[in-house]
Structure 1
Amino acid sequence: MPRITVRRALDASGLLRRIKIEIDGHVVARLKRGAVQSVDVAPGQHVVRAHLDWQSSAPVEVHLGETKTIALEAAIAERSMTFTATFLRPESGLDLQVV
């Protein structure tokens, strides 16, 4: 079965807060700093996003075959503390990327 593994980086911000990981619109994990979570998913196309309070990451689209595993890393970006990321573009405050 395909699997998506998400790791939260050892970011310096939000030490006591958890990043929510959403796959296809459903929250599947809440990660504290340095935590890792794996989720079994159906084969096919999936959209993954990270959320923290009102900020989020850009959506990451992944396509998984029958037995494929993909790893992503979520992090609070340094730019998340800027005026733009906080108020004008909160969807750019977190990083989520395939590793």
Structure 2
Amino acid sequence: MPIVTINRISEHENRFRKIRLEVNGKLFAKINNSEKQKLELPYGKHYIQAKIDWCTSNILEVELVEDIDVKLIKGKRSTLYRTTFGYKKYLLLQLEVN
């Protein structure tokens, strides 16, 4: 089975909090600040999303045929904006190119 490696970038704001990782709408793992989490998933299409409280990331759609790396970072705008109007963009999941 392919491995999805989630690399949570170190950040000051949520450094003591875990972020929930959901795959296909179900809780799959929790990740600490600056941690790498390896998720073993079956081949095929999957939807990955990160959540912390009511705030979420984009939904990353991946078609797994081989191992991939994903970077988890917080959004670029101010905290006030991201926790109110931009709560669906509080976090960002990006595919890493090797």
TM-score normalised to the size of structure 2? 0.89
Structure 2 residue runs of 5 or longer lacking an equivalent are none
Deviation at 1:58, TM superposition (A): 0.8
For 2:2, the equivalent position in structure 1 comes to 2
User: Is there any run of 5+ residues in structure 1 with no aligned partner, and where?
Assistant: none
Summarize the Cα distance change of 1:71–1:14 in structure 2 as closer, same or farther, 3 Å threshold. same
* Farther-moved stretch of structure 1 (52-61 vs 85-94): 85-94
1:55–1:80 Cα change, 3 Å: farther
- Post-superposition Cα deviations, 1:43-69, rounded to whole Å, max 9, x if no partner, equal 11110101111111010100011xx10
Percent identity of equivalent pairs: 27
The corresponding residue for 1:60 is 60
Query: Which of structure 1's runs of 4+ aligned residues deviate more than 6 A?
Result: none
Question: What SS does structure 1 have at the residue aligned with 2:84?
Answer: helix
CA-to-aligned-CA distance 1:62-93 (integer Å, 9 cap, x gap):
0011xx1011111222425033x211231111
Kept after mapping to 2: 8 A contact 1:9/1:73: yes
**Residue in structure 2 matched with residue 16 of structure 1 by the alignment:** 16
Partner of 1:97: 94
Once the two structures are superposed, the pairs formed by residues 37-48 of structure 1 within 5 Å of their partners are: 37-48=37-48
Q: Is 1:80–1:94's contact at 8 Å kept on the other side of the alignment?
A: no
The CA RMSD over aligned residues, in Å, is 1.3
AA matched with 1:54: W
* Alpha-carbon distance in structure 1 between the residues aligned to 2:50 and 2:26: 11
Mapped partners of 1:92, 1:23: distance in 2: 18
Equivalenced residues, count: 96
Higher helix share: 1
Cα separation, 2, equivalents of 1:61 and 1:11: 25
